[in-house]
């Protein structure tokens, strides 16, 4: 008695905060010492913990039962052995120190670091086994741990910690790697959890303690209450199911929180299962006994099992609740029909007691199981006994539980390893269902900071062009021999149809075997969604296996989009023009293959659409032009036949030539330009500067060269993409009815100057490792014979040469002199800048433009 009084006096005199401060300081000293431990040193320490835990499993179990008055010594012995043997076996080969993984293909290295000093809170239900478990996973990860033991299990937990710490230190661990609050109290445990130098909380205990852990402002790994039901479905091996449930509920007197709290049984086998339970000495309460039992068994304040009852035997519980049950009773069962406060025994029980429900089938069973989980067990564990594999999946999908155990005793299945391949653990997360941060069985991996070393990755680049490209005079004759097609749908416009449609149909008519064709000539200069839908409607009637696009960019773009929507009727326009950063990772997926072949025959020399994955469409409703881009839009065959450009009007030669030049120059400086695409871009640039003026004046040889240059530029931008120049040109062109090519030319001098300056905002592109647009423009200038002392002079020279070329083909390079009203422009420019920013071409510009910068560029372009 004197000893107890002295102890109480010491507790009253203790400075709780100073005590906790002392523990934490010592823990950090130990933490620093372990920082440089090798995996081998760590594993040696953990193996020593496992050995001492197993060697003393009975002693510690006996102490726990004697101190707490709960559970069964033999079962707690098994728990201690599980926490030592099974946990260590699962961790034995796990890397937790330094570099734990290297992925040479993805060029990622993972490095494990300890989280720091851990506050470990332990329960009265599984005291000694939890100390073994938490100590092992803490030291396996080079963390130190300070325990706050449950006051009702202080002595057995202290003994466990002393044995473990001594073994760990002998194996090489530093002093104070494991500590505990010597004088336990709620105040002390709260001071530990909220201490600024505690890094993580590992909490197992009652709802109040776990809530306090999560409210501490620290990362916390906790568990929630378990009120898990088990459903015995009519196809189950009911004898095995009954055996498993009795095993689970009697193991340590039902104190494993994963154990079954209710059993739901199909009516088809209900009586058989009941007889099986009776044969195993289970006691069924009658209606009067249920009322009496409920009064004492349930704590009216908390709505769950009363504290003195948890962990007692069925016989002891019967006596406490005023119900006489045989001394050899294994489990007490109450047959129930409802869930909730009006049915008190439907709550968590932590004892060899469960409620039993009869149901008409799976639908009713699912509902009751979900109701039970919602009444204090969400996220924890649920069981099903059945031979119906499909039903297992449906059950798992329907239940808000993180462990769905099949044909398994839940108490032993929930902790993992023994009856299944789940990770063994003494701390079972319940996820957000149960207000937890983790939904799995907690282990060492959860006590690590993982550092990721990510090497710079240059994404794989590509070149994609039509499968076949035919060029030179009379190349259109390919259609005479094109294999595997019979029905040709010719897309064109009225002007081109009047000139060349007969030439194409004559070639098709010369084919051997079955052939047919239809000419669709409704495409206008800026194809609209209405025209596309009309073409798709005609295709649905004709059912072509080949589409021939004969015309300029508008016609070829229309044909591409018609094929897309003809083959993919569920796709929407909004889906098709979604902007993306990386075409391989875009949100909206285009088809990977096309059944209908697309042949493009350009009748102008500018768009390059015959070899590109781009298409431009104008929304009939809004009037806005949208750029579609995907390699499924690529034609299958391109025919570059100069027959179709011999009689082009001079103005169209000028416009299309400047469009091709814009394609070539923007693709050359694009952030996606490669050694492959730059060759096409540069050759096109040189051809255009050498031949555009001559072609404009009627030189047929130059016109043929321009036709080839347009396709080369198309192949370049098809793979390197474009930039802000085209984004602005598309927007201004569609708004103010300025032809393509002219809008590109008006824009280009200002875009070159803008891009050649060091960008205010840098573009995101791993392949684009350094800013180089100024040097790229300088290289273009050199290839054209322009002289300059430095890159800046070369860029200025390139701009001047571009302006001279434009003047030579009678182009005026501003919006004002091309009929755009200043008032109209000023009213729209702010919104136009936003529209241009939304254009896909923005993404690959060498300077990532801000919307305000685009607006400023547009204002400069207006006055020229």
Catalytic residue among 257, 282, 402, 629: 257
What pLDDT, on the 0 to 100 scale, is given for residue 222?
Answer: 81
Asked if residue 814 has pLDDT above 50, the reply is yes
φ and ψ of 457, to 5 deg: -115, 125
Res 216: pLDDT: 84
More confident residue, 247 or 580: 247
699 and 737 share a domain?
A: yes
Mean pLDDT of 248-268: 97
Q: Is 402 a catalytic residue?
A: no
Q: Are 669 and 721 in contact (CB under 8 A)?
A: no
Is 450 within a domain? no
Domain boundary among 647, 662, 694: 647
174-187: average pLDDT: 95
The band of 764, judged by pLDDT with boundaries at 50, 70 and 90, is: confident
- Beta strands in 184-275, from DSSP E residues, in sequence order: 200-203, 220-221, 229-232, 262-266
Average pLDDT over residues 94-116: 96
Contact 121, 92 (CB under 8 A): no
Torsion of CA 622, 627, 630, 634, to 10 degrees: 110
Question: What is the rounded distance in angstroms from the CA atom of residue 642 to the CA atom of residue 660?
Answer: 16
- DSSP H helices, 625-699, are 650-669, 675-696
pLDDT (average), residues 113-125 = 96
Domain match, 640 and 514 both = yes
User: Do the beta carbons of residue 312 and residue 70 sit within 8 Å?
Assistant: yes
- Domain at 781, CATH number: 1.20.1090.10
Residues 63, 187 share a domain:
yes
C-beta separation of 57 from 80 below 8 A:
yes
Q: Which of 401, 419, 437 is the last residue of a domain?
A: 419
DSSP sequence for 55-85: HTHHHHHHHHHHHH--S-HHHHHHHHHIIII
Q: What is the reported pLDDT for 8? A: 43
Residue 35 lies in a domain: yes
**Domains of the chain: total:** 4
Query: Pseudo-torsion of CA 196, 197, 199, 203, nearest 10°?
Result: -70
Collapsing DSSP to helix, strand or coil, 600 comes out as: strand
Look at residue 436 and tell me if it is in a domain.
Answer: no
Which of 199, 216, 227, 334 is CA-nearest to residue 274?
A: 334
3-state secondary structure of 298: strand
Q: Are 799 and 753 in contact (CB under 8 A)?
A: yes
596 and 624 within one domain: yes
Query: Within this chain, do residues 700 and 713 fall inside the same structural domain, yes or no?
Result: yes
User: What φ, ψ does residue 323 adopt, rounded to 5°?
Assistant: -120, 125
Sequence-separated (6 or more) residues with CB below 8 Å from residue 527: 554, 555, 557, 558, 561, 616, 617, 618
Identify the domain boundary among 370, 397, 419.
419
Residue 54, by phi and psi: left (phi above 0), alpha (psi -120 to 50) or beta? alpha
What does the pLDDT look like over 670-724, one tens digit per residue?
A: 999 999 999 999 999 999 999 999 999 999 999 999 999 999 999 999 999 999 9
Helix 822-837 / helix 724-736 crossing angle, nearest 10 deg:
140
Query: Given this model, what pLDDT does residue 4 score?
Result: 38
Q: Which residue has the tokens 């009379």?
A: 474
Q: How far separated are the first and last CA of the chain, in Å rounded?
A: 102
- Give the chain's largest Cα–Cα span: 119
**Secondary structure of 167-208 as H, E, C letters:** HHHHCCCCCCCEEECCCCCHHHHHHHHCCCCCCEEEECCCHH
Same domain, 738 and 756: yes
Per the prediction, the chain carries an average pLDDT of 94
Query: Which pLDDT belongs to residue 581?
Result: 66
> Own/partner pairs for 819-827, CB < 8 Å, 24+ apart?
819/736, 820/736, 820/738, 820/862, 822/862, 824/736, 825/736, 825/862
547 with 658, same domain: the answer is: no
Q: Tokens 């494993």 appear where? A: 256
pLDDT for res 12: 59
Does residue 115 sit in the same domain as residue 252? no
Count of C-beta atoms within a 10 Å radius of residue 303? 15
Q: pLDDT tens for residues 456-480? A: 887 777 888 899 999 999 999 999 9
The pLDDT score that the predictor gives to residue 589 is 79
Average pLDDT of span 110-136: 96
Task: Report the Cα 691 to chain-centroid distance in Å.
Answer: 51
SS3 141: coil
Identify whether the C-beta of residue 325 lies closer than 8 Å to the C-beta of residue 318.
Answer: yes
Q: Give the CATH number, domain containing residue 409.
A: 3.40.309.10
**7: pLDDT confidence band, cut at 50, 70 and 90?**
very low
The enclosing domain of 534 has a CATH number of 3.40.50.1970
- Candidates 541, 533, 548; CA nearest to 492 is 548
What mean pLDDT do residues 595-603 have? 96
Provide the pLDDT for residue 627.
82
Q: Are residues 509 and 642 both part of a single domain? A: yes
Whether residue 59 is contained in a domain is answered as: yes
pLDDT in tens, 766-808: 788 899 999 999 999 999 999 999 999 999 999 999 999 999 9
Q: Measuring CA to CA, which residue among 849, 675, 690, 858 is closest to residue 776? A: 675
- Mean pLDDT value of segment 360-385: 97
**Whether residue 735 has pLDDT greater than 50:** yes
β-bridge mates for residue 628, sequence order: 615
Structural domain including 851 reads 650-864
In tens, the pLDDT along 76-91 reads: 999 999 999 999 999 9
| 260 shares its domain with 321 | yes
- Is the domain of 193 the same as that of 233? no
pLDDT digits 0-9 by tens, 531-552: 999 999 999 999 999 999 999 9
Contacts of 180 (CB under 8 A, 6+ apart): 146, 147, 148, 149, 157, 158, 161
- Distance between alpha carbon 842 and the CA centroid of its chain, in Å? 26
> What tens digit of pLDDT does each residue of 480-514 get?
999 999 999 999 999 999 999 999 999 999 999 99
pLDDT of 2 > 60? The answer is no
In terms of Cβ atoms closer than 10 Å to its own Cβ (0-12, 13-18, 19+), residue 446 is buried
For residues 794 and 729, state if they share a domain: yes
H or E element that contains 275: helix 267-279
Segment 373-402 shows an average pLDDT of: 97
Could you identify the residue written with the tokens 């659409």? 609
Asked whether residue 437 is assigned to any structural domain, the reply reads no
Q: Which residues contact 631 (CB under 8 A, 6 or more apart)?
A: 464, 583, 590, 613
- Identify whether 25 is part of a domain: yes
Give the helix/strand (H/E) hosting 158.
helix 154-170
| C-alpha distances in Å from residue 338, one per residue of 265, 290, 357, 359, 398 | 14, 13, 8, 11, 19
Q: Is residue 400 part of a domain?
A: yes
- CATH code (residue 190): 3.40.605.10
Cα–Cα dist 579/842, whole Å = 10
> Over 50: is that where the pLDDT of 1 sits?
no
pLDDT band, very low/low/confident/very high, at 213 (cuts 50, 70, 90): confident
Q: Is 249 contained in some domain?
A: yes
């Amino acid at each position: 008695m004197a000893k107890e009084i002295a102890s109480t006096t010491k507790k009253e005199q203790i400075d709780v905060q100073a005590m906790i401060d002392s523990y934490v300081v010592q823990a950090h000293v130990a933490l620093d010492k372990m920082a440089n431990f090798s995996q081998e040193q760590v594993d040696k320490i953990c193996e020593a913990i496992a050995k001492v835990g197993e060697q003393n499993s009975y002693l510690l179990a006996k102490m726990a039962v004697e101190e707490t008055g709960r559970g069964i010594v033999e079962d707690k012995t098994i728990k201690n052995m599980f926490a030592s043997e099974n946990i260590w076996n699962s961790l034995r080969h796990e890397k937790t120190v330094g570099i734990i993984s290297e992925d040479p293909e993805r060029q990622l290295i993972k490095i494990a670091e300890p989280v720091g000093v851990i506050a470990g809170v332990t329960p009265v239900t599984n005291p000694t086994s939890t100390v073994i478990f938490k100590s092992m996973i803490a030291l396996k990860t080079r963390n130190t741990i300070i325990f706050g033991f449950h006051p009702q299990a202080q002595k057995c937990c202290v003994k466990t910690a002393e044995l473990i710490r001594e073994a760990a230190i002998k194996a090489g661990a530093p002093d104070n790697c494991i500590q505990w609050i010597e004088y336990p109290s709620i105040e002390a445990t709260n001071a530990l959890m909220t201490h600024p130098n505690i890094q993580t909380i590992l909490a197992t205990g009652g709802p109040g303690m776990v809530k306090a852990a999560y409210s501490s402002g620290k990362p916390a790994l906790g568990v929630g209450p378990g009120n898990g039901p088990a459903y015995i479905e009519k196809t189950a091996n009911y004898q095995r199911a009954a055996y498993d449930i009795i095993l689970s509920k009697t193991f340590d007197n039902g104190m494993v929180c994963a154990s079954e709290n209710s059993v739901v049984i199909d009516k088809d086998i209900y009586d058989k299962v009941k007889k099986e339970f009776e044969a195993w000495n289970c006691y069924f309460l009658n209606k009067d006994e249920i009322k009496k039992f409920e009064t004492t068994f349930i704590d009216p304040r908390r709505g769950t099992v009363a504290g003195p009852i948890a962990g007692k035997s069925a016989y002891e519980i019967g006596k406490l609740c005023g119900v006489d049950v045989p001394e050899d009773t294994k489990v007490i069962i109450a047959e129930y029909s409802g869930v909730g406060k009006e049915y008190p025994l439907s709550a968590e029980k932590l004892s060899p007691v469960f409620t039993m429900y009869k149901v008409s089938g799976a639908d009713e069973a699912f509902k009751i199981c979900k109701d039970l989980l919602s009444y204090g067990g969400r996220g924890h564990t649920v069981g099903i006994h059945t031979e119906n594999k499909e039903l297992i999946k449906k059950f798992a999908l329907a239940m808000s539980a993180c462990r769905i155990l099949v044909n398994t005793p839940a108490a032993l299945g929930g902790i993992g390893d023994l009856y299944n391949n789940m990770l063994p653990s003494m701390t079972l997360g319940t996820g957000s269902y149960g207000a937890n941060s983790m939904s799995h069985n907690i282990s060492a991996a959860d006590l690590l900071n993982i550092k990721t070393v990510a090497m710079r990755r240059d994404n794989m680049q590509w070149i994609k062009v039509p499968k076949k490209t035919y060029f030179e005079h009379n190349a259109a004759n390919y259609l005479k021999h094109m294999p595997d097609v019979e029905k040709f749908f010719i897309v064109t416009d009225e002007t081109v149809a009047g000139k060349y449609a007969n030439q194409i149909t004559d070639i098709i008519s010369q084919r051997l075997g079955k052939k047919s064709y239809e000419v669709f000539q409704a495409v206008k200069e800026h194809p609209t969604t209405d025209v596309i839908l009309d073409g798709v409607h005609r295709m649905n009637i004709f059912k072509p296996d080949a589409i021939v696009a004969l015309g300029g960019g508008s016609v070829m773009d229309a044909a591409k989009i018609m094929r897309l929507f003809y083959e993919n009727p569920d796709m929407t326009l909004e889906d098709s023009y979604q902007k993306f950063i990386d075409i391989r990772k875009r949100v909206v997926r285009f088809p990977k293959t096309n059944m209908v072949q697309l042949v493009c025959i350009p009748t102008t020399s500018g768009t390059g659409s015959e070899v590109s994955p781009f298409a431009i469409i104008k929304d009939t409703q809004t009037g806005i032009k949208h750029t579609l881009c995907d390699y499924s839009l690529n034609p299958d065959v391109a025919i570059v036949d100069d027959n179709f450009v011999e009689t082009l009007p001079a103005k169209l030669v000028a416009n299309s030539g400047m469009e091709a030049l814009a394609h070539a120059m923007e693709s050359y400086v694009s952030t996606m330009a490669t050694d492959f695409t730059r060759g096409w871009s540069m050759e096109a640039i040189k051809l255009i500067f050498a031949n555009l003026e001559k072609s404009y004046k009627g030189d047929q040889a130059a016109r043929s060269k321009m036709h080839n240059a347009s396709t080369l530029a198309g192949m370049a931008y098809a793979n390197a993409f474009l930039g802000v120049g085209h984004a602005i040109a598309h927007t201004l062109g569609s708004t103010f009815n300025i032809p393509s090519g002219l809008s590109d030319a008006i824009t280009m001098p200002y875009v070159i100057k803008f891009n050649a300056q060091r960008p205010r905002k840098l573009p995101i592109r791993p392949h684009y490792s350094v800013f180089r647009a100024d040097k790229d423009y300088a290289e273009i200038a050199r290839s054209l014979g322009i002289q300059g002392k430095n890159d800046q002079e070369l860029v200025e020279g390139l701009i001047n040469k571009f302006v001279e070329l434009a003047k030579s083909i009678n182009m005026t390079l501003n919006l004002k002199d091309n009929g755009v009203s200043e008032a109209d422009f000023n009213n729209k420019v702010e919104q136009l800048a936003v529209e241009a920013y939304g254009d896909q071409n923005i993404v690959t510009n060498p300077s990532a433009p801000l919307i305000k910068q685009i607006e400023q560029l547009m204002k400069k372009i207006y006055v020229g």
